[in-house]
Structure formats: C-alpha cells, structure tokens
Amino acid sequence: MWRRVIFLGTCTALIAASSMRMTVSHAYESAPAPSRSFEFTYIVHVPALSAGSGNMGIWIPLPQTDSHQRVSALRVASPVHYRITREAKSGNEFAYLNFSAARGHAPFDIRLTFEARREEYKVTLPASDTTAQASFPPSVARFLLPDRLVPIDGMIGELSKEQTADISDPLQKARKIYEYVIAHMHYDHAGTGWGHGDAIFACTMHHGNCTDFHSLFIGMARAAGIPARFEIGFAIPPAEPAGKIAGYHCWAEFYLQGAGWVPIDASEAWQDPARHDFYFGGLDADRVRFASGRDLTLTPPQAGGPVNYIVYPYAELNGKPYSGLAQDFSFHYSQAAAAAGQ
C-alpha cells in the first residue's frame, strides 16, 4: 500500500489519479523491468504582493498516470483557492490559482505532493521500418510541424537532409540523428542562450542542457519526416534515498509505424556512455514525467504568448508574465510503496 502522508493547509484536496495517457502498445523484455517508487514534493513560494498590485494567476503542472508511471495520493495544499484544469492540445493538467492583491497579500506557499512508481522500459524495435510514412493519424501527424524554437527548414532542414541522405528507413534515420546529436553536442551551462530548447542555438553552439539536445533531435527528425515530441519532468538521483532536486529533466519521443512512440534521451546518453544504446528506445526508472509539448496555451488561456514548455509554475500579474515565484523540489524513497509493489 501507499504510505499515508498528512500535509497541512487550509485548502487541501485529494485528487483522483488522472486518466491514463494512452499510447500504442509496445513489446517489452520478458524479465521484470527495474522500477522506482518515491514520494515527491513540489513547493511554490509566492511572495508578498503590495496593495493594488492587481490580479495574480498561477498555473502549476501536475503529473499524471501513464503507461510507465503510476501517480497516486496527489494533493495540493494552498491557502488560496485553486481548481484543476486540463489543456486540450497536449493533455497537460494544472492546479490553477487566481486571486486579487487589492488589499495586499502576505507571502504563502503552495505545496504539491504525490507518490509515484516509475518503470524502466525499452521498446522492442524492428530491424527496419519499410512502412509508408504517409498514413500517420492526425494525432501523430501534428508532431511533424515546427515549434517556435524548433524549425524544420533552413539550417535544421539542411542538416537533417545531409545527415539522412541515402537513408530511406525511418528507424535508421532516427538513429543517425540520435548519433549526430550526441557526437556534436556537449552538456554545458556556459554562457547564455542555453536551456530554451532552441534548435538553432544547439545547432550553432553545439552545447546546452537537455532541452537543447532534444530540440535539435526533434527538429531534425521532423525535417526527415519522422514525428517527434517533447517530454519533461524531473530526474530522481539513482543512488540516493532522499534529497533535493536542483531542476528539471527532459527527453524526446519519435513515432515509428508498427512500434508507436519510441523514447530517446540523448543528453543522458552523452553523460552516461555505458547506456548509449539503451537510451535509444529506452528510459530508466529514475525520473517522473510532468508535461508534454511546446508553445503551450494553458487552461484557462494565459494573456501572454505561448509558453515555451512547462515544468515550473507559470504566473501572470495583471495579464503579464511574472517571474517573482520561487520553487523547491525534493523526493523521498517510498519503501512502503515499493514493498507493496505499488
């Protein structure tokens, strides 16, 4: 059974597990896959607002149960009323708060907690894929289109064409792009411009974080006629029973006829060469997914432009993006849940 956890707050609710995010079925290795069970805490620190500063809206992404992770005991504790919303394009869910600071507002915290069980998995890939690429369903075909920072023409299109020349098999194309990204990128937070998931930046500067690695992969894959999408959450330190989490982690998936969505984690493969082959088609259990997609319109719609991606809270004050929030993330190994096989 999941360990029962009690949290304090004047507005605490138990949210039923989200509806299953369905994907095409895959064949997996017969041996039991490694799994990881943990409790996760996500705290948003809202500063004091002066009287007359106006109206504040906050969107906090919520994790969901899907084919490879089970989320339970999801709770939001806040002194300010919230409601659960869902955006239609990517199916992301949010705790949404909207309040007025007409009389001033003292600082407060919003605490999100949940328990999760994440499974390692590896998609069994065919030796080749000779299926025609013209029959993608609309829900998949939309991932052939560019994002604001992930073009599929110009420099990215030319690079994709160069790297996949004389290759007709989509699986081999995807592998060639994966190998190119790992060989020509290095994980580095130096300077500015990294971390936005800007494919042009990644292509020209050859460094960045996971968003930059995977924006380059996604752009090149789409340019080669392979649907690809962006996934984001947090990495859970593999050798630690508990601790703080410094920031997010992201990965990508590409679509292969007959196999469905296939994960890749190029930045982890770069940092862990021993698992280079595993991360083409496989993901470890040391992570939790929060959201998908780029250029997001939230629910209710934000007043500002599309949100590049979301894993940290997004806020607006008087209809303008607000950067004054702070956040903390931590985890704790859930021994009770693991023992129960949850």
The predicted pLDDT at position 342 comes to 52
DSSP reduced 3-state for 164: coil
The predicted pLDDT at position 239 comes to 84
Domain boundaries, the chain: 12-120+310-339, 125-284
- Number of Cβ atoms within 10 Å of the Cβ of 204: 10
- Number of Cβ atoms within 10 Å of the Cβ of 20: 11
Rounded (10°) angle between helices 210-223 and 170-184: 150
State the Cα–Cα distance between residues 225 and 134, nearest whole angstrom. 9
Burial (CB count within 10 angstroms: exposed 0-12, middle 13-18, buried 19+), residue 261: buried
State the Cα–Cα distance between residues 286 and 120, nearest whole angstrom. 8
- Fold of the domain spanning 125-284: C8orf32 fold (3.10.620)
* CA 212 to centroid of chain Cα atoms: 13
The predicted pLDDT at position 102 comes to 74
Bridge pairing between strands 207-208 and 186-187: parallel
Which CATH class name applies to 12-120+310-339? mainly beta
The predicted pLDDT at position 131 comes to 60
Give the residues of the chain that fall short of pLDDT 50.
Answer: 1-30, 340
C-alpha distances out from residue 134 to 130, 141, 175, 257, 272, Å: 12, 9, 20, 10, 36
pLDDT in tens, 218-270: 999 999 999 999 999 999 998 889 999 999 999 999 999 989 999 999 999 99
* CA 26 to centroid of chain Cα atoms: 21
Residue 291: which of 87, 54, 52 has the closest Cα? 87
State the Cα–Cα distance between residues 140 and 143, nearest whole angstrom. 6
Across 155-307, the runs of DSSP E, i.e. the strands, are: 186-187, 207-208, 228-235, 242-244, 249-256, 260-264, 282-283, 287-292
Q: In the structure encoding, which two tokens stand for residue 135, read together?
A: 């029959």
pLDDT in tens, 138-165: 999 999 999 999 999 999 999 999 999 9
Residue pair 81/97 in contact by the 8 Å Cβ criterion: yes
Global pTM reads: 0.88
Contacts of 76 (CB under 8 A, 6+ apart): 11, 12, 13, 15, 60, 82, 95, 110, 111, 112
Residue type, 147: D
